[in-house]
Structure 1
Amino acid sequence: MNANGIAVTVEEPAPGQFFWVLEQQQRVRAAIERAVRPMPSYGLAVMAGISALERRTAAANSLCARGRVDVSARDFGPTTIAGCL
C-alpha cells in the first residue's frame, strides 16, 4: 500500500516474527516508522501497518483541513498537485 510516497512493508528478522515498516519512497528507502513488537503472521503485520499509515494520513489531512499546512506557491510543472491530498 502506498499513500503520498509512503509504503507499508513487512520484515521477518526471525522466523515467525513479522514487523511492519512505513518507508518513505525516495531515491533511497528510509524507514519513518516501524512496529515496536512483532506480529505472529505476515497478514496481521500488513493490517497493522496499513492502520498506522491510515492514522498518519488522517492526522496529515486534519492538519490540512485546519489550515496548518503551508502549500508551496512554486510551480514545479504540469504534474504539480496543489493543496492537501
Structure 2
Amino acid sequence: MLDETSFGLRILSVRETAKRLNIGRSTLYAWLDEKSSSCRLGLPKPVHLGKSTGFIEHEIDDFIRGLMQARGGAVGL
C-alpha cells in the first residue's frame, strides 16, 4: 500500500487551499472558472476523489512560488 509519505503527496481540501492562498472559497472557484474575468490560468486544476475535491499540495506551492517570482520576490522556499 502506498501512503502520502512514499511520494511526498498531500491533497489539500478546498478550504485549506483557499486559506493557503489567503482568499475565500468563492474567489478560488472564480479563479478556476475559465469564463470568469478573475480566472487565473496558472492555477492547478483540482482533483476529484469520490465526493471530495482537493488540490495537490506541491502544485499549489509551485503556483505561489510562480506568483512570487513574477513580482521579483524570493523563491527559495
Query: Which structure is higher in RCO with an 8 Å CA cutoff and minimum separation 6?
Result: 2
Normalising by structure 2, we get a TM-score of 0.31
Higher helix share: 2
Higher strand share: 1
